[in-house]
């Protein structure tokens, strides 16, 4: 089964568009876990078990593990999902980009070493740099289009003959780079107008949507502007708003409540 088919099946089965972000920051996890030898993995296991019923995918932020020297625990955490919830799609958020023979090694890390089902990539270097990823036909390759940060405007909003760069990226993703039908895009939840324009360009292609919650994205606005023709089409990502909901022994229970609440709020507007 391809990543996109599996993702759609998961949306249906779980009746949820929520993607729980395991952006695990060792400084923010509950005190009683901090001294654990594998603190990131222990925290992740508990959050995964607590939120899996309310989520349709998990996303792991590579930077958090790279910056705390715990890439081995990232690998263990993804394996934990694969072993216990084999139907749950797992996205690696690593925003990779490099020339062909080098990008191959990033694809190998994401799909073979870390066992992710999809990976985020940056389009600045061009279509040929995405091929080593899309060559894995059953995997998903999620291209940055319009990001959620204020500086996104610096390059992404520049206009070329009446079209903004992010619109051109969306067109290339939809029409030119998608030979193996395994591309998706990233659009920040903080920019609903841009989200609407991109949805028009890409049809029913799924969109990874970070920026709900901590970054200020509004659920109604993103659903109104971003959902596909089936009232789905969005991987609504929330990390900080869910995983750090509690700071004591009840942190997992609190995270589950937040995930359920987000699922229900999204479903109101589908």
Residues found near its own copies in the complex (CB under 8 A): 23, 25, 61, 63-64, 66-69, 71, 95-100, 102-109, 113, 122-129, 144, 147-156, 158-160, 165, 168-169, 172, 215
In this structure, the dihedral spanned by the alpha carbons of residues 5, 23, 256 and 207, taken in order and rounded to 10 degrees, is -30
- Tokens encoding 203: 């049809």
Q: Please report how close the Cβ of residue 163 comes to its own copies at its closest, in angstroms.
A: 9
Q: Which residue's CB is nearer to its own copies, number 37 or number 69?
A: 69
On whether the CB atoms of residues 34 and 112 are closer than 8 A, the answer is no
Q: Please report how close the Cβ of residue 269 comes to its own copies at its closest, in angstroms.
A: 25
- Active-site annotation holds for 258: no
On whether the CB atoms of residues 61 and 239 are closer than 8 A, the answer is yes
- Please pick, among 28, 38, 45, 95, the residue that the annotation labels catalytic: 95
Q: Which residue's CB is nearer to its own copies, number 16 or number 77?
A: 77
Q: Which residue's CB is nearer to its own copies, number 58 or number 106?
A: 106
Q: Which residue's CB is nearer to its own copies, number 15 or number 102?
A: 102
In this structure, the dihedral spanned by the alpha carbons of residues 24, 26, 30 and 31, taken in order and rounded to 10 degrees, is 170
Q: Please report how close the Cβ of residue 100 comes to its own copies at its closest, in angstroms.
A: 7
Alpha-carbon distance of 214 to 217, in angstroms, equals: 8
- Tokens encoding 268: 């109101």
Q: Please report how close the Cβ of residue 42 comes to its own copies at its closest, in angstroms.
A: 19
Parallel/antiparallel/unpaired status of strands 163-164 and 159-160: antiparallel
Q: Which residues are catalytic?
A: 95
């Amino acid at each position: 089964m391809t990543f996109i088919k599996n993702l759609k099946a998961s949306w249906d089965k779980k009746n949820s568009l929520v993607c729980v972000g395991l952006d695990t920051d060792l400084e923010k996890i509950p005190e009683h876990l901090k001294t654990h030898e594998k603190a990131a993995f222990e925290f992740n296991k508990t959050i995964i078990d607590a939120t899996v019923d309310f989520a349709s995918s998990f996303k792991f932020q590579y930077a958090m593990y790279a910056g705390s020297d715990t890439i081995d625990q990232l690998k263990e955490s993804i394996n934990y999902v694969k072993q216990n919830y084999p139907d749950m799609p797992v996205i690696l958020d690593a925003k990779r980009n490099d020339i062909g023979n080098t990008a191959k090694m990033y694809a190998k890390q994401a799909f073979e070493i870390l066992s992710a089902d999809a990976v985020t990539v940056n389009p600045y270097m061009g279509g040929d740099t995405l091929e080593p990823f899309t060559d894995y036909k059953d995997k998903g390759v999620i291209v940055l289009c319009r990001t959620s940060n204020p500086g996104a405007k610096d390059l992404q909003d520049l206009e070329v003959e009446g079209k903004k760069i992010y619109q051109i990226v969306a067109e290339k993703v939809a029409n030119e780079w998608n030979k193996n039908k395994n591309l998706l895009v990233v659009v920040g939840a903080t920019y609903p107008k841009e989200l609407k324009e991109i949805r028009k360009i890409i049809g029913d292609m799924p969109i990874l949507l970070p920026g709900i919650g901590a970054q200020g994205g509004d659920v109604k606005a993103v659903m109104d502007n971003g959902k596909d023709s089936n009232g789905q089409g969005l991987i609504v990502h929330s990390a900080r708003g869910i995983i750090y909901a509690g700071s004591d022994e009840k942190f997992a229970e609190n995270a589950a409540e937040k995930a359920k609440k987000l699922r229900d709020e999204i479903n109101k507007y589908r």
